[in-house]
Structures are given as C-alpha cells and as structure tokens.
Amino acid sequence: DRATAARAPQRPTGEVYRDLRAGAESGWDFSSRWLDDGRELASIRTTAIVPVDLNALLYHLERTIAKACASSALKACEQGYGARAEKRRQAIEDHLWHPAGYYADYDWQRRRPIERINAASLFPLFTGLASAERAGRTADSVAAQLLRPGGLATTTRASGQQWDEPNGWAPLQWVAVQGLRAYGRDALAEDIGRRFLAQVQQVYDREGKLVEKYDISGNQGGGGGGEYPLQDGFGWSNGVTLQLLRLYGPGAGR
C-alpha cells in the first residue's frame, strides 16, 4: 500500500489507502473497474464509484427482510423494508443505467455513469429488479462485449489485475446464467454455462484439479494476474461447476 501511494504523490496518502481498502472489501481486488486510468493501481478511486452489484444485492436483502417481516406479521417492518427496496430499485434505474444499453457503475463525484461495461451489469437481472426491456438490452450488450471462448469476461480491459480480462470467475458465471434464465434468455445463459464448463474440463483434464479463476480468452488455462499465485481448489469453482453440470452436463434435464 505504501508503494502504491508513493506512485500517486499528488493525492493524500490516506485517500489512496482508503480506496485500496474499499477495493479489497468489494471482492474485486483489484480491477480496472476501480482505476481512474484503467491500468495503474495508484489511480484507484473505489469510494467515488457507486457499484451496481452491491446495490442490486442490497435491494435483494431489503426485499428478503421485508418478506421475513411479513411472515412474522410485523407490518411496520415489512412496509419499512419494502419501501427501502423500492426506493433503491428506483435509484438504480435512475442512476445505474447507461444509455448505451446496460446497467453500469456510477461515478458520484463526476455525476456520470462509468463508460466500461463489466460482469456486474448482470446483477440487476440476478436479483430480479430489472425491467424486461432493460434486462433484454443488458443481455444483448453482454453478448456483444463480454462473451469469450471460455465464458463470461469480468471486464473488457487487460490491466494485469486479477478481476479483469482475460480472467473468468465462477461466481460471475453463475450470476450471469441465473440472471439471464430469470428473464427468458435461456440460450445465452446456456452458451455461457457450456463455455465455462468446457474451460474447466480442459484445465482438469490437463492438470487434474479445479482452480480459483480461469483464462477464458481461448488459452485453455488457469487465470493469472493480481498479487498472489493461482490458487487450487476452489470452493466457488467447485460449486458452480457442479450446478452448471446439473443444468447443462450429460444427462441434464432427465
């Protein structure tokens, strides 16, 4: 962190530390998604960005709490969290929609949507808040810009960070598949799922293991980049692969 802050002498050190912590807390540690220039970690400004995935998940949480309150006959609680969810849904539609046709992060300091699409665009479909029209446009944008030989790309930038091109991550494949299926885009969902399964199988056949992330550009290997070596395992790769096999593997649907 000190070395990163030293490469941004024009910024207060504490500001750089804060944005690095926020980037790590986001789970996308690190990604061009948070970088002002899309390349250099010292340009990170995570706390200036309103993330579409976080807000979609908070919407889902508020809806879930409202339903739990309803099941316990807690009317005020149900209405309160229901109102919060609806207010957040409307804010997402007002501010986290890019006119090019996809859900996008928002730069609240500059008061404009982030121009680059990324896999988080599908979270409003995954949590069921998207309108049918916007879900369809988002699906089309994702198919045009994020589909790769091995599944769904995380972003469209190859920055050297691990949550970027050419890496594909299992949980993002699952969000995409489930979100697209929920809005009737079954063919695209299956295409993404089958591509990712083929990628996982190729690495497994060669190395006898599943890994944390995959290079989905067509190189048929595990992913790279970031601050540590590629990890074996991996919980989310194992779980998502199992679920995708149930959907699209041999004997699926029987």
Is the residue at 194 inside a domain?
Answer: yes
Neighbours of 87 (CB within 10 A): 12
Boundary of a domain, candidates 31, 48, 65 = 48
Is the residue at 122 inside a domain?
Answer: no
* Residue found by looking up tokens 């988080």 in the block: 120
Is the residue at 28 inside a domain?
Answer: yes
118, 176 in Cβ contact below 8 A?
A: no
Is the residue at 188 inside a domain?
Answer: yes
135-187 pLDDT, tens digit each: 999 999 999 999 999 999 999 999 999 999 999 999 999 999 999 999 999 99
Give the whole-angstrom CA distance, residue 106 versus residue 120: 12
Cα 131 vs. chain centroid, distance in angstroms?
19
pLDDT at 251: 80
84-132 pLDDT, tens digit each: 999 999 999 999 999 999 999 999 999 999 999 999 999 999 999 999 9
pLDDT at 225: 96
Residue 244 confidence class, pLDDT cut points 50, 70, 90: very high
Helix, strand or coil for residue 97? strand
Q: Where in the sequence is the domain holding 153, given as residue range(s)?
A: 146-254
Residue 238 has pLDDT above 90, yes or no: yes
1-42 pLDDT, tens digit each: 999 999 999 999 999 999 999 999 999 999 999 999 999 999
Is the residue at 213 inside a domain?
Answer: yes
Q: What is the DSSP string of 90-147?
A: HHHHHHSEETTTEE--EETTTTEE-SS-BGGGGHHHHTT-S-HHHHHHHHHHHHHHTE
Give the whole-angstrom CA distance, residue 55 versus residue 95: 11
**Residues involved in catalysis:** 29, 212
pLDDT at 224: 97
Residue 254 confidence class, pLDDT cut points 50, 70, 90: low
Is the residue at 4 inside a domain?
Answer: yes
Give the whole-angstrom CA distance, residue 112 versus residue 95: 8
Is the residue at 242 inside a domain?
Answer: yes
**Tally of structural domains, the chain:** 2
Residue 58 confidence class, pLDDT cut points 50, 70, 90: very high
Mean pLDDT calculated for residue range 213-230? 96
Neighbours of 39 (CB within 10 A): 15
194, 142 in Cβ contact below 8 A?
A: no
pLDDT at 252: 82
Q: Is this structure's pTM higher than 0.85? A: yes
Is the residue at 8 inside a domain?
Answer: yes
Mean pLDDT calculated for residue range 76-86? 99
Q: What are phi and psi of 241, to 5 degrees?
A: -60, -45
Instruction: Tell me how many helices (H) and strands (E) the chain has.
Output: 9, 12
